[in-house]
Every structure is written in C-alpha cells, then in structure tokens.
Structure 1
C-alpha cells in the first residue's frame, strides 16, 4: 500500500513539474511533491504541496536563486490533478523561503515588469505634498546586514521639479531592532531638507509595519528578512488562491 501511495505521489508530482517547467524561461533545478494518494485525489484533497527550485527565470528578467514553498492541507480539483495540474478549490496558506542575489534584485528593478508599475509616491511635508519619482535605482549587498542604494529620482515640490542622485545605507528591521538609516548623502543636485528625510523615513516605517502586502490577487507578509553579502533571504507567509503556474 505504501508503494502505491509513493507511486501516485510520484506520477502526480512529475506531471506538475512538467507543467510548471513549461512556464519558465530558464530553470536549473525544480522539484515538486504533491502529498496525497489516489483516495484523497478523488475526494479533491491533498495533505499539501511542496515546491523547491533553483535558478528560476520568469519573463526573461525576473530571476530567483532559490525558492522553497510548503502549503497546508488543500482542496484541489480532482480532474485536473490527475493530469498534473494542481487547481485549488479554496485559498491555502503557504510558507515561502526565497533567496535573491544582488544581481537578481537589480535585474528585476531594471525589468519591464517592474518599470511598468507606478514609480512615484507622495509624502506630506509641512502640510504640502512632495513627490518622489524613481528614475533609476541600484541595490548593493555589502554584507554585515546592510543594504546600500544608489539612484536617481525626480523630486516634485510645489512649483519646482528637480533631479536628485543619492546614496543611502540601511539596516533592515530584525526581531531586536527597527529599520536603521545608517547614512544618506546627495551626489547630485541641491540636496533635500531634513523635513523631507524625516517624512521619507516615516513613510518607509509605515510600509515596513504593514500587517500584509498585496500583489495582484496574492496577499503576503514578510516575516523575516536576512541580508548577507551578495544575497537576501526572505521568509514569507502567504495565502494563495492558486498554485503559481508561471
């Protein structure tokens, strides 16, 4: 009986791997394990799905060095599951561990997918609205838990728009300390006022402290972020409406 159970999982998992791989531009390694058996499949149930991948490239410019995902118990479409396509009947909780290299992050920031999203946000400074419009941002991961940013933005103030180039170094929030701005300097332009810097940091604090974030139909929360030399590790909890088909 155990052998039959393993065979069912293997056949279903291999079918899911094949379908997922077809949606990737590149992949170095991929492994999917659908934890179920034939009886549970016919009932539209599975104990969970685990997914691990390395060197995944999506839409040419979005690359992930490593990803590991594990879902809770799930309700699935039994007809599609038999053909290796996992369709959820109900949203499911999942834990995801993602590793991004410095190169992965900068490749994504320069991608058409990211650049097509709004690059402008507003700050309230002394009862007036000041807007930042990102033109170019580059991230460096030098180690020691630090993130460095170099970039160029357009600063839209009342009756005036000017270009500003900057360098900033931060330490992301941990369980024992809040997010820390270690340094900020203007490389080009007239600089910015202390009031704008304070408002900017307050905005960052608000975003970091949000209970959850949403991208399209997926709600997620970053539970842990570790920064090492040349790579970033994120532990994310999310509620999936569908297992990603990429």
Structure 2
C-alpha cells in the first residue's frame, strides 16, 4: 500500500509541477510534493503540499532566487485532483521562506508592474496633500542588517512640482529591535521640511503595523525579514483562498 500511495503522490506532484511551470515566465528548478493518498483524494483531503523552487520569474522582471513553502492540511476538489489539478474547497494556511537577491529587487523595482503600484504616493502634511512620483529607486544590501535606498522622485505640492534625489539607510524590524532609520540625505533639490519627514515616518509606521497584505487570492503577513550581504530573506505566513486563480495572476 505505501508504494501505491507514493505513486499517487508522484502523479499529483508531477502534474502540479507541469501546471505551475507552464504559468511561470522562467523557472530554473521547481519541486512540488503533494502529501496524500487515493482514499484521501476521494474524500477531498490532502495532508499538505510543499514547494521548493529556484530562479522563478512570476511576472515579467519579477524574480525569486529561492522559495520554500509548506501548507497545512487542505480540502481539495477530488474530481480535479484525480486529473492532476489542485483546486481548494477551503482556504489553506501556508508558511514560506523566500530569498531575493539585490539584483532581483532592483530589476523588480524597475519593472512596469511595480512602477504602476508605486504611482503617486500621497501624504497628508498639516492638511495639505503632497504626492510623490517615483522616477528611479535602487536598493543596496551591504550587510550588517542594513538596507540602503537611493532614488529620484518628483515632489508635488500645491502649485509646485520639484525634483528630489535622496539616499537613506534603514534597518528593518527584527525580533529584538524596532525598525530604524539610520540616515536620510537629500542629494539633489531643495530638501524637504521637518513636517514632511514626520508625515513620512508616521506613514511608514502605519504600513509596518498592517497585520496582513492581500494580493488577489492570497493574504500574507511578513513574520521576519533578514538582511544579508546581497540577499533579503523573508519569512511569510499566508492564507491561500484558491491556487488556480492566484496562478493566473502570475502568468505571462
């Protein structure tokens, strides 16, 4: 029986690998393990799904160096599962470890997909709405837990639009210390007011306090962020409401 069960797992795992690989722009390596057996499939159950991958491009210019993901037990559509497709009958919880390289991050920041998400970032500064239009941003990971940002943007105030270039060094929040801004310097332009800096810090605090983020059929929270020289390591907890439609968003 164990060998028969393993054959069923292998069939589902291989079909899932083919399906996901076909919806990625590029993939260097991917391995999926569906933990189930025939009886559980018929009952619409699986003990879990694990995924490991390297060099996954999930959108044009959005690349993940490495990902390891494990779900808890899941309720699946037994009919689709018998044909090698996993469709969820109920949301499933998952944990993931994701590694992004410095090059991955900067390539993503320069992509149309990310730029469209960053357009016209707005702040309320003493009742006045001020917006930022990013023109260029780069991230550097020098090590020692630091992230360095260098960028250019258009600062849009009432009746006035002006360019601004800056550098900033920050340390993300860890289990033992809060997020820290170690330095901020305007390298081009007239600089920014103290009131605007305070509003920026308040907005950053609000963003870091958000319990979870949503993207299509996935709600996720960042549990830990580790900065190494050249790499950013994220530990995520996620709730996936549906696998198929989420993958459709990631397809070319």
Pair in the same fold by TM > 0.5: yes
Alignment of 1:184-199 (within 5 A): 184-199=184-199
Q: Does 1:145 pair with 2:145?
A: yes
Cα-to-partner distance string for 1:105-155 (whole Å, 9 max, x where unaligned): 111111121122242222222232222221111111110000011111111
Equivalents in 1 of 2:86, 2:76: separation in Å? 7
The two structures have a TM-score, normalised by structure 1, of 0.96
Deviations 1:11-67 (A, max 9, x none): 110111111111122211111000100000011110111111001112331110001
Query: What corresponds to 1:73 in structure 2?
Result: 73
Q: CA deviation at 1:86?
A: 0.8
SS at match of 2:200: helix
1:105-184 alignment to 2 at 5 Å?
105-184=105-184
Instruction: Give a deviation string over 1:175-222, Cα, whole Å, max 9, x none.
Output: 111111111011110011122111101111110111111123321110
Range with greater deviation from structure 2 (45-54 or 153-162):
153-162
Q: 1:95 Cα shift?
A: 0.7
Counterparts of 1:47 and 1:26 in 2: how far apart (Å)?
A: 29
Looking at structure 1, the residues matched to 187 and 51 of structure 2 have their Cα atoms a distance apart, in angstroms, of 44
Match of 2:3 in 1: 3
Give unpaired runs (5+ residues) of structure 1: none
Q: Which whole-Å CA distance do the structure 1 matches of 2:193 and 2:79 have between them?
A: 61
Higher share of residues assigned helix: 2
Match of 2:55 in 1: 55
Q: How does 1:9-88 map to 2 (within 5 A)?
A: 9-88=9-88
TM-score, scaled relative to structure 2: 0.94
**Ranges in structure 2 where 5+ consecutive residues have no aligned partner:** none
SS of alignment partner, residue 195 of structure 1: helix
Q: Is the 8 A contact 2:118 2:134 kept in 1?
A: no
Distance 2:238 2:59 in 1: 22
Question: After superposition, where does 1:196-235 map in structure 2 within 5 Å?
Answer: 196-235=196-235
Counting matched residue pairs gives 246
